Amino acid sequence: MATNSAPGGDQEKLRSLFSYLRDFKEVVAIVIFFVGGVIWLYAAFATKQYVAEVKCLLGATIERIDNEAQAKTFQAEIIEHSIRLERMQSDGPTSPNIIGDLELIKQKIEDLKTKKSLADEVTKKASQRVINGECGG
């Protein structure tokens, strides 16, 4: 009784399979080449999601830095106007024109304080977006 599981029979099947595949070796090589290329492309280039995450992180970082710079500028102007106001008030008698100037400087200081607090708030929100991972990271 002969069975197909004999060692000689298995080897013959393998030889027959390899001879059949040998006829298509160029096709197999091309398929393997293109599959490898697709895998390489996916690994080498960023996905749309990754690009969107990086854009979000960069946008939040730029927003934070820009508003920090604005807040520092506003703080410097507040100090400058406060010193000017202090000097004008300590100069002694005031005329109606000086009183008007004093009120304008006080109003300018209040406006700058409002702008600074808004810049600080935007800076804080931008930092929180990055810290909380709202950019998908």
CA angle 72, 103, 93 (to 5 degrees): 120
24 and 80 share one domain: no
53 and 73 share one domain: yes
Q: How far apart are CA 51 and CA 110, in angstroms?
A: 41
What pTM does this model have? 0.63
Local confidence band at 42 (pLDDT 50, 70, 90 cut-offs): confident
pLDDT tens, residue by residue, 64-94: 999 999 999 999 999 999 999 898 888 876 7
**39 found inside a domain:** yes
For residue 7, what pLDDT is reported? 58
35 and 66 share one domain: no
Q: What is the DSSP letter of 6?
A: S
What domain count does the chain have?
2
